[in-house]
Structures are given as C-alpha cells and as structure tokens.
A and B are shown apart, each in its own frame.
Chain A
Amino acid sequence: MAEPGLLVALPLAACLAAVFLGRRGALLVWVTGPLMLVLTWQLARAIPVVEPLGGWAPPLGIALRADGFAAAFLVMTALVAAVVGAYAATYFAADPRPRRAAAFWPLFYAVWTAVNLILLGRDLFNLYVGLELLTLAGVAMVALDGRAATLAAALRYLLFALFGSVTFLIGAALLYGRYATLDMELLAVALAPDTATVAAAALISVGLLAKAAIFPFHAWLPPAHAGAPAPASALLSALVVKASVLILFRLWFDVLPPLAGALLNALMGGLGAMAVLYGSVQAIRQDRLKPIVAYSTVAQLGYLLLAFPLAGAALGAQPWSAGAWTGAVFHALSHGLAKAAMFLAAGTIMLAAGTDRLDRLGGVAKAVPVASFAFVIAAVSLMGLPPSGGFLAKYLLLTYAFAAQQAGWAAVMVVGGLLAAVYLARPVNALMRAAPAEGARFARVPAVLQLAPLLLALAAMLLGILSFEPYRLIQVNNPAAAHEGLQ
C-alpha cells in the first residue's frame, strides 16, 4: 500500500482530531509517528507513484506524484516530525500553560500535512494551498508563547509570508492565463519563454524566496525561530522554510529550464552566497544559543541555492552526472535532521539551565550530557565535517564546483564552513566549560528530551555513511536539468 494521498490525509485527520483532544492530543503521536514512518518507507520503495485524486486527471483534477526527490524528503519529514512529536509530548506535559500545550498539536499536524502536500503536489495552486497552510500554522507556532516579543516576531513572519503568497499567486494567475493549466508536467511541455512566462516565473520565485527567508528576505526568520518553543523551532527550521526552497527547486529544474540562463544562475548563486556569508557573520555576533542556531538556518539555506549555477556545469567530468543537484538535496536532508536536533538540544539545555545565554551555560554539559553531545554532533554535520551527511553534500558541491572551474562558489562554501566552525565552536565551548556561572543551578529534565535530539543528530551523521540507498532513492526520476544544468 503506497498511496500518496494517505500521507496527506492521515496527518490532516490527526490535525482535526487534535483540535478536539486538547492536551491529550500528545498521545496521538505515538500512533501517527510510527505509522507515517512505515507509510513513507513503503512509498520510498514503490516510487515512482502517481495518484490522480478522485480519479480526475489533470488539467481538470489534481495529481499527487512521488519521485525520488519527494520520497527522500517525505521520509526525512516523517522522521523529524515523529521525533519532534515525541519530544514535544514530554516537553509540553509539564507545561504550566495548558492552552499553549493544547494549541501546539493541531498546528504540529497542520505543518506535517502541508509539508507532505507540498512534496507530493505538482499543481501550482495546490502548492499554494499547501504553502498557506504551512505558513499559517508556522506563524501560529511562533506566537504560541504569547509574549509581546514573539507576537511581533510572528506578525513580521506573517507579513513577509503574505507578501510571498501574493506574488506567488499573481505569478500563478499569469501562468494560468497563458497556458490554461497549473499542472507542472503540462506546463513543462507547453512552456515558451515569452514575457508573461518570465514575469510569472520571477514573481513566483520572489514569493518563494520571501517565504524561505533567503537573503535579502531573511529579517523575519531569526526572531521567529529563536522565539518559538523548542519543538516548534525545530519544525520551522528543519521543514517549514525548506519546503519553499524545495518548490523553488521543483519549479526551476522540472518546469522552467527553458527560461533559465546565466543571469538566473548568477542571481540565485549570488543570493545564496550572500545568505551564507551574512547569516554566518550574524550568527557569530549573537550571544545566546537559539539566535545562533536560527541565524545558522539563514546561512545554511544559502548553500542550496548554489546548486543553480553549479548544476550541469561540469557535465561528464564526474562519475555522478547530477552531482551538484544531488549535493544540494543531500544538504537539505542533512540540514533538516541536524537543525531539528540542534533546536531540540538547545531546548533541553534551556530547560536545564533556565536560560540560553552563552555565558550562563558553564557546567550544563554535566547536567544534560546526552543533549550536549547531540548538540555537538549536530554541529559537526552543520559545519560540513565528516563523516556527516553535511560533509557528503559539501563534497559533492565542491568537487562539482572545481570540475566546472567555478572556484568562486567553492570559496564561498569553504569560507562558509569555516565561519560555521566559528559560530558553532562558541556555544560548544560554552557547554564544555566546567565551571558553572555564579548562582547557576540546573533543573533535572526527562530522558526523552535528551534522547530525541541525539537520535536526529545520529541520523544526520548516518546519512553521510550509509549514503548509498539515499543516493539511489534521490536519483529515481530526477529532472533532466539536474544533469544538464540550467544553462
């Protein structure tokens, strides 16, 4: 049984159930987590799969399609969501604010539904609906704390996201007016590089960049992701922003290659490079744990865009013809796992220490050793050090950059990796400091809150070692532009 529709329907049903269950909604995750893992796993073994919803074929109906790209992210999403769910069930169990705990669960499932829908959908309007669901649930998650600062962060996020929605929708309208369909496969066949199409592509891309917090639309992300409760931050950073980037990939590599060219590549690569450098420098300037992790998301998303100029630039020089594209996909997968692990670990550390100020974290490694260890392992993956998934991703992107004789992009990645080492060494140093700060006392935390981040961090690590199966999976039905590039 590998029906893509079920992967959307099941979390949606859980979302509705959670509305009525309130705080008891926490129990649902023990069913949905394992079930979704099994279902996504089965789908990954059955791809490629196409399911026209209700039996109506496009353009009238909407089809869900699962290729390797989708399946890989579906499995990653299921893993992250299941572990974050287990973490959240414990995290909110002792919450003195019952409404916050009750409100989390419907939002959690809404995010899960939306991400799965985005991964499987191939209709631009369908994707728009998924994006909106994702945004609204994400914004509400940021606002869960209800403090003025987080409300401001949520509002800022919402305004950026609404701007993105609007431009996306204008672009979609233009495309519909031009081609009378929004189905990606049909669009790809009919596509002509005329003014209306170019304008639509630009509008949609800008919308997606805004929602993905890609530089220069990044301003909303750090306060939002740093201010949300830890499980929410993990979902937001690992899945929510990434979903928009994945649509961007889908769009350009599957549908719009005829429009692409040197200008697009330079633009995307430039934005990516700016994001890497700006996000890293900002992360170095923070003095609290969660903002560092949040700015690191800004930086890490930048790497994904480097696949635009690199893809196809070294055709034939490598044993892997889709090297840069595959590298970006690996980067997104391992970043999802590692970043979720890092936010969960940061949440546990905050619970234990009562603060996330770096200068107050001395001795915390003794109070929560496993969570601290998980933080370090996640940091290793984010820095792109071996043997993590992050390393393999960087290896692919870097060898490709040199093979394509585009050493400039390689320099960005190497500098970004060094900056990541700087901004992550600071919190790791703070954790390792043996002497506790004056007056510091540490609370005991349940074991689940330590083990959950470790599990995800180890998964990020294993992605770099047991990479053969993921690699094969990703290559199933990959787009031609992944090989030939966007030239």
Chain B
Amino acid sequence: MRRLPLLLALMVLAGPAVAEQRPEHPAECRVAAHLAESSFPLPQVARAIAAKKLAVLVIGAGSSRLPGPGGAKNAYPARLQTALAEKLPGVAVTVATDVKMRRTAAQMVEAMPVDLAATKPALLVWQTGTVDAMQGVDQDQFAQALDKGINIARSAGADVVLINAQYSPRTESMIALGNYAENLRWIAVQQEVPLYDRFGIMKLWADLGTFDFYSATKKLDMAERVHDCIGRLLSDLVVQAAKPENPSPAGLR
C-alpha cells in the first residue's frame, strides 16, 4: 500500500504518453512499421468499418499458421484480429482462416469461392508464393492464379491484401523466390491491390538484429513474437488503407 502514491504518480506521468501513442506496438515490431504502408485504398474495408462490422478472411499456406496447441491463437491471423479490434473500438472484428500446408496459389483459388461464400468478408488476406516457388510452378500459371483469385474475391465484394513469402535465410539457397516475388509485386501493382511486404519486413528485422532467423530451435517463443508483429503491422496497413482520406473510388463518408 505504501507504493500506491508512487504508482499513481507513475501512471500520471505515463498517461499522456500512452494516450498519445495508443495503440502502440512493441519496439521490435515498430522498426519495420514504415514498410507496412499501402499505396492502394481498401474501399470495402472502409465501408465495413463504417458499418461497425469488419469480417476478414485469411487464406494461406504453412507460414500463416504456427504448430502446437496454441498455434491458432498466436499465429498472425489471430494477432491481426486482436490488433484490429484494439485499433477500431466499437467495430466487431472477426478473422476467419483457411490455412493449409503445401498449397499453391492455384490450389487456394480453388478453395476461394466456398470460403468467401461461407464468411462473406470485406477483406481477403492472401498469403501465397512460397509453395509455388518450391514446386517450380510455371510463372504464367502463378500470375494467372493470382489474377483469378483477386477477381474472385472482388466479385464477392471483398478487398484483397497480398502477403509475400517469409524471409528465410537458411533455405534461401534452396527456394528460388525471386521471380515469384517479382510476379506477386507486379500483379499487386497492376490490380491495385496492397502488397504486405512480409519478406522486406523480416529482412529488415534480420539486418537490424531484431530477430535471429538463423537460430535452430523447437521453441515457439520467437515464432510467436514474429507472428505477433506481423499481425500488428498488417493491422496498420489495413487501417491506413481504409482511412476515408485515402482516395477511394467509392467516395465514402
């Protein structure tokens, strides 16, 4: 009880700072915050936020999940939901996932109509490319699958955010991401879809020593922190791209 005045004093001091920066990410996430910017608006998300109900669907492969019993709770889709809910008070945020290992872009496109019909999202977050690179899928087919998926999502009334591969230094000499990453970037620009540059963000973390992606471990702690940051920064991108001051064709509000 003797400590209470001290605690109160600290809270008063810290109060304005917290209020100013809220909602704030851990420092380790923040160093890459400038990479989570979108050059394209998300009009459907903006509309959904205005209607106080935002449904998100994440479709992805192995790097959109974490193993173990707490995997679903700690992987970036769930962290995205938490971060969005913090950022958008009063908006009911739901994040549904369709995440399965070893799926190419084309295989995910096949699952897309059913997923979209079931969840009716305003936003499709689509993580793809790594499996295609490992299997050496033809570049044209990869690009066509991306186009097709984006068009399916749009005609179902959802905006799309693409997520590229993880930065994985150990397997760099074995997975030729290059052309797939370029194709993904190019399709994103052409279709005017925001690309969440997970690769660039993780590469920056590696360069700055924020996370050590070389470490061999069975423990989940680093993977969980990485997914937490990825989810938080993704929420930044989504909220920024859905801001009404962003030029949006629908002319909201």
| A and B physically associate | no
B interface, CB within 8 angstroms of A: none
A interface, CB within 8 angstroms of B: none
